[in-house]
């Protein structure tokens, strides 16, 4: 992100967060994270300025998670390494207008989950880490940041380019994928380790664990098809994306801790 774009973005976060902050003051039932904590008597309702500061802090954590939430991260990935452009890139599981969709049914959990639950899932799987306390500054900040990405307020419609691309179901060939991977290795390295924090790891100890959504070849193919190679997305065919995903998902990576199976 260029300096100017960053300034503009920070301003937009400021405006959106201020509006959200006012909604909190007005007692809007939509803001479940902080207002919910306050309603439950767990602390004062944050004012607009506190809300803004929290969202700013949340963006920092989102963009550099191993640095700002190191206690809870087991690898070298930031949220923004997958949720690209700080959670604003189409079909890279953007978090635009997502907050208001929670609580929602989760097929993985088999029950309804909150936004906080969903963040924990990414901590114990994608971040190969451990759950962070619900009342921690990190959790409140991440929730505030994700809420600040909701333009339509807490109960908006799903964003049109939410989630990952819908691809036809194909079978990936890991041997072909190894050849496709040559064009990825320029950045992510022959050993898949990348160069954190600027280029994320695709496998090895710096990467997501084997319980992560990204470790499912179909999900990775959908991510890669729309987003990679970075700077030239669209260069791969759907088959290339499945092949390279089949190759990457076979590589060694951290193990999911079954103690966190409820996330």
Give the separation between CA 17 and CA 262, rounded to whole angstroms. Answer: 32
Q: Which residues contact 4 (CB under 8 A, 6 or more apart)?
A: none
Q: What are phi and psi of 218, to 5 degrees?
A: -65, -40
Sole binder of ligand HEC in the list 1, 10, 179, 186 (CB under 6 A): 186
Could you say whether residue 127 binds ligand HEC (CB under 6 A)? yes
Cα angle at 76 between 73 and 79, to 5 degrees? 70
- Is residue 74 left, alpha or beta, with left meaning phi > 0 and alpha meaning psi from -120 to 50? alpha
Could you say whether residue 132 binds ligand HEC (CB under 6 A)? no
Could you say whether residue 200 binds ligand HEC (CB under 6 A)? yes
Sole binder of ligand HEC in the list 208, 225, 242, 256 (CB under 6 A): 208
Q: What are phi and psi of 67, to 5 degrees?
A: -85, -45
Size of the site for ligand HEC (CB under 6 A): 45
Could you say whether residue 184 binds ligand HEC (CB under 6 A)? yes
SS3 111: strand
Q: Which residues contact 255 (CB under 8 A, 6 or more apart)?
A: 209, 210
Determine the interface stretch with ligand HEC among 20-28, 167-175, 218-226, 251-259 (rule: CB under 6 A). Answer: 218-226
35-94 residues in contact with ligand HEC (CB under 6 A) are 65, 77, 79, 81-84, 93
Determine the interface stretch with ligand HEC among 22-30, 36-44, 230-238, 251-259 (rule: CB under 6 A). Answer: 230-238
| Site residues, ligand HEC (CB under 6 A) | 65, 77, 79, 81-84, 93, 95, 98, 118-119, 122-123, 126-127, 142, 162-164, 183-184, 186-188, 199-202, 207-208, 212-214, 219-220, 223-224, 227-231, 236, 244
């Amino acid at each position: 992100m260029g300096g100017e774009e960053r300034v503009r973005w920070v301003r937009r976060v400021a405006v959106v967060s201020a509006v959200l902050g006012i909604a909190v003051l007005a007692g809007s039932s939509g803001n479940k994270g902080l207002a919910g904590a306050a309603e439950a008597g767990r602390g004062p309702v944050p004012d607009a300025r506190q809300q803004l500061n929290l969202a700013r802090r949340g963006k920092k954590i989102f963009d550099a998670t191993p640095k700002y939430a190191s206690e809870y991260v087991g690898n070298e990935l930031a949220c923004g390494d997958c949720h690209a452009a700080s959670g604003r890139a189409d079909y890279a599981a953007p978090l635009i207008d997502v907050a208001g969709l929670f609580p929602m049914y989760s097929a993985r959990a088999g029950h309804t989950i909150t936004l906080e639950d969903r963040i924990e899932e990414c901590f114990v799987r994608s971040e190969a880490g451990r759950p962070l306390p619900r009342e921690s500054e990190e959790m409140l900040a991440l929730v505030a940041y994700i809420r600040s990405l909701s333009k339509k307020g807490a109960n908006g419609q799903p964003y049109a380019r939410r989630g990952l691309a819908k691809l036809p179901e194909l079978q990936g060939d890991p041997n072909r994928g190894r050849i496709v991977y040559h064009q990825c290795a320029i950045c992510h390295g022959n050993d898949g380790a990348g160069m954190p924090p600027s280029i994320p790891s695709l496998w090895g100890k710096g990467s997501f664990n084997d319980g992560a959504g990204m470790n499912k070849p179909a999900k990775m193919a959908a991510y890669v098809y729309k987003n990679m190679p970075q700077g030239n997305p669209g260069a791969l065919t759907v088959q290339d994306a499945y092949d390279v995903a089949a190759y990457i998902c076979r590589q060694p990576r951290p193990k999911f801790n079954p103690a966190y199976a409820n996330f």
